[in-house]
């Protein structure tokens, strides 16, 4: 007799009036098992961590196993641990909105337990990025400097614009964020510059400040500037300045919810991924097509 996998699956249906019944707590994994995804939120006491928690608590497909945060406050109905190693319970995926200093422990935790990791934190150093790539050789790892659908579409439009405009337009990226943001330029500004780089017919040099350069702008430059103030959630503008004409592509975020929605969408996608590798929002969006 072959192996028999015994499992008890409870599916509840919500039936309201004449509307079709909606299954609660149902999500298909690669193995076809219907289950409620168990997520861990890293940085759970922070602004984004709390936004993710509030959305996840209202999501029928998700349950929050734990939070990780050096500021281990119990704000919601799930336990919060100061360090990942303190939590030995089950989880299907970890969503991280914390700081680059959390990376080492998180990677060790996820590698040891083979739990896919969704990295939404920005400001990683080259060493951090190297560690992320190394981990992705054996673990499914998702990383995106911006989780919003609109920004990912903007990156695509930037790429297409650069392919058409080529050498004849100067490319500049400008971003504005709230006064609390510590890294500059934003991960998204770099992501947009990288999108331009992929399509431009030259290797651009990123210029972060012009004060010390007393010289005219060179055509191979991409200027990246950052403004910080107040409570601005996030604005990103890509400017194509040509001879007597300018094209501006701009995205404005009005609330953090858009990032949290994208992060949970990525979490659901990554929980079903078994192949190691580095994934990003394009994989999530393509999977929906």
Q: Catalytic residue positions?
A: 177, 181
Tokens of 226: 């950052």
Contact mark string toward ligand NAD, 187..226, x via CB under 6 A: ----------------------------------------
Strands 277-279 and 234-242: unpaired
Q: Is 257 helix (H, G, I), strand (E, B) or coil?
A: helix
- Judged by CB under 6 A, does residue 46 bind ligand NAD? yes
Q: Token pair for residue 273?
A: 């991924």
User: Of the ranges 56-64, 96-104, 134-142, 200-208, which one interacts with ligand NAD (CB under 6 A)?
Assistant: 96-104
Q: How many residues bind ligand NAD (CB under 6 A)?
A: 25
The residue whose Cβ lies closest to ligand NAD is: 46
* Spatial distance between the Cα atoms of 167 and 238, rounded to a whole number of angstroms: 16
Q: Is 152 in the site for ligand NAD (CB under 6 A)?
A: no
Candidates 115-123, 162-170, 202-210, 267-275: pick the segment binding ligand NAD (CB under 6 A): 115-123
The nearest distance, CB 80 to ligand NAD, in angstroms, is: 10
CB atoms < 10 A from the CB of 159, how many? Answer: 17
With contacts defined by CB under 6 A, name the span among 15-23, 91-99, 155-163, 194-202 that binds ligand NAD. Answer: 91-99
Question: What is the rounded CA–CA span in Å between residue 243 and residue 252?
Answer: 27
Q: Which of 240, 245, 92 is nearest to 165 (CA)?
A: 240
Residue of the chain from 35, 65, 144, 161 that contacts ligand NAD (CB under 6 A):
144
Q: Which of 204, 283, 213 is nearest to 238 (CA)?
A: 204
């Amino acid at each position: 007799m072959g192996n028999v996998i015994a499992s008890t699956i409870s599916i509840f249906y919500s039936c309201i009036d004449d509307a079709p019944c909606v299954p609660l707590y149902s999500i298909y994994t690669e193995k076809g098992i219907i289950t409620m995804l168990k997520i861990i939120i890293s940085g759970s006491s922070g602004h984004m961590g709390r936004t993710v928690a509030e959305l996840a608590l209202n999501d029928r497909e998700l349950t929050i196993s734990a939070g990780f945060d050096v500021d281990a406050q119990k704000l919601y109905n799930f336990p919060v641990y100061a360090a990942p190693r303190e939590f030995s319970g089950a989880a299907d995926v970890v969503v991280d909105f914390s700081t680059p200093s959390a990376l080492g422990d998180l990677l060790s935790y996820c590698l040891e337990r083979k739990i896919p990791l969704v990295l939404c934190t920005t400001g990683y150093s080259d060493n951090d990025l190297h560690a992320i790539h190394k981990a992705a050789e054996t673990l499914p790892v998702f990383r995106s400097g911006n989780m919003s659908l609109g920004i990912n579409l903007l990156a695509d439009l930037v790429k297409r614009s650069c392919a058409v405009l080529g050498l004849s337009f100067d490319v500049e990226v400008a971003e504005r964020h709230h006064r609390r943001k510590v890294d500059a330029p934003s991960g998204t500004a770099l992501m947009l510059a990288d999108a331009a780089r992929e399509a431009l017919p030259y290797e651009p040099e990123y210029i972060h400040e012009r004060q010390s350069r007393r010289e005219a702008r060179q055509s191979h430059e991409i200027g990246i500037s950052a403004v910080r103030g107040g409570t601005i959630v996030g604005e990103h503008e890509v400017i194509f300045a040509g001879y007597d004409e300018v094209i501006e592509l701009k995205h404005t975020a009005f609330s953090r919810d858009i990032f949290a929605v994208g992060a949970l969408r990525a979490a659901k996608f990554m929980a079903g991924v078994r192949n190691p590798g580095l994934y990003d929002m394009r994989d999530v969006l393509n999977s929906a097509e």
